[in-house]
């Protein structure tokens, strides 16, 4: 069986397979490798957020720079765990869009996103970590390799075997790996949910909720479902903890990137369906405007990061 530990846990680093971004001496992947692996997905989400393909390009480019810069700052300062690369860049799109909305380019964002950014739902993502959506906390708490496997399989719709191969796992054990990671995510969400409960009624249902989502075919008390119907936090927890019912992709996407999660899911699943299993590492571009700009954007992101390093 492969080594599951994150490199930051002190374990030997897994060999870098084809399709996985190689890491530099400071422990972060190169901008070029990250663009090659994740650009299409980030551009898809950025385009959903904006009113034109050109604005989407600009938002995606700024989000890439932001994600790489923030990650390097975190590691240089010895901060704790972070999200896997792709959800990290997607959350950077959301953060950059929030900056646009607040300061300068709000008119380049879709009206629905602008409304969402002014709502209490958006405020949850900018809150203290303990108050953020449960899926976001659970994914961030996983070792990075496990989080990457979970996101690519559940949200991006890639085959388990293909992703396992890309991440350096033995494809023969791919079904066991994704089962293990789902259970690990579930356990972290369950623990985080219990640790942040302050309402006495919610605490009284915590064990029942754990049992009901662990064995959903077993009859559960009607009052538990009545509680879930009126309690948003426990309902969100149930969605994250019920990992075998087909709802995990939506729970992950909604809890991590927020606005437009289901539109993003639809687009990425469509991209995965159009892509042969052997080449799922790079989803096809959905719009022709992306192809001729790709090299220019690669240079812009790389040059922007280089300029900041020289300062």
Q: Where are the domains of the chain?
A: 30-131+285-311, 134-257
Q: Are 4 and 146 in contact (CB under 8 A)?
A: yes
Q: According to the model, what pLDDT value does residue 12 have?
A: 28
Tally of CB atoms within 10 A around 121: 13
Q: What is the pLDDT of residue 215?
A: 82
- Direct distance between the N- and C-terminal alpha carbons of the chain, in angstroms, rounded to an integer: 45
The token duo for 138 is 């659970």
DSSP class of residue 276 equals -
DSSP 260: T
For residue 27, what pLDDT is reported?
Answer: 45
- CA–CA separation, 44 vs 42, rounded Å? 5
Three-point CA angle 135, 141, 245, nearest 5°: 40
Residue 56 has a pLDDT of 96
Q: Are the CB atoms for 147 and 252 separated by under 8 Å? A: no
What tens-digit pLDDT sequence spans the chain (311 residues)?
Answer: 344 433 333 332 233 333 446 554 444 567 888 888 899 999 999 999 999 999 999 999 999 999 999 888 776 665 667 899 999 999 999 999 999 999 877 899 999 999 999 999 999 999 998 899 999 999 999 999 999 999 999 999 999 998 988 888 888 889 999 999 999 999 999 999 999 999 999 999 999 999 999 887 777 788 998 999 999 999 999 999 998 878 899 999 999 999 999 999 999 988 888 875 533 333 322 222 233 333 433 444 445 445 444 54
Matching residue, tokens 């959350």: 91
Q: Answer for the pair 40, 290: CB distance below 8 angstroms, yes or no.
A: yes
Task: Output the pLDDT for position 219.
Answer: 79
- Rounded CA-CA distance 310/304 in Å is 10
Per-residue pLDDT at 245: 75
């Amino acid at each position: 069986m492969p080594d599951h530990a994150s490199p930051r846990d002190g374990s030997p680093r897994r060999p870098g397979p084809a399709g996985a971004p190689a890491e530099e001496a400071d422990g972060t992947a190169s901008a070029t490798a990250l663009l090659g692996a994740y650009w299409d997905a980030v551009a898809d989400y950025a385009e959903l957020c904006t009113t034109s393909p050109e604005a989407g390009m600009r938002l995606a480019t700024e989000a890439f720079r932001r994600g790489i810069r923030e990650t390097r700052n975190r590691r240089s300062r010895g901060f704790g765990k972070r999200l896997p690369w792709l959800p990290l860049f997607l959350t950077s799109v959301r953060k950059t869009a929030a900056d646009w909305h607040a300061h300068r380019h709000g008119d380049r964002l879709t009206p629905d996103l602008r409304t969402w950014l002014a709502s209490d739902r958006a405020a949850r993502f900018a809150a203290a970590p303990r108050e953020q959506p449960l899926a976001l906390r659970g994914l961030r708490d996983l070792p990075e390799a496990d989080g990457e496997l979970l996101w690519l399989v559940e949200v991006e719709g890639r085959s388990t075997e293909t992703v396992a191969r890309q991440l350096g796992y033995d494809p023969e054990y791919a079904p066991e790996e994704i089962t293990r990671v789902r259970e690990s995510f579930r356990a972290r969400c369950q623990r985080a949910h219990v640790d942040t409960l302050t309402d006495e009624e919610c605490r009284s249902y915590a064990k029942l909720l754990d049992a009901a989502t662990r064995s959903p075919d077993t009859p559960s008390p009607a009052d538990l479902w009545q509680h879930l119907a009126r309690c948003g936090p426990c309902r969100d927890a149930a969605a994250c903890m019920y990992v075998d019912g087909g709802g995990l992709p939506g729970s992950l996407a909604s809890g991590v990137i927020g606005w437009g999660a289901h539109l993003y899911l639809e687009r990425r699943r469509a991209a995965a369906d159009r892509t042969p299993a052997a080449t799922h590492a790079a989803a096809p571009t959905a719009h022709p405007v992306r192809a001729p700009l790709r090299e220019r954007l690669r240079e812009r992101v790389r040059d922007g990061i280089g300029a900041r390093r020289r300062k």
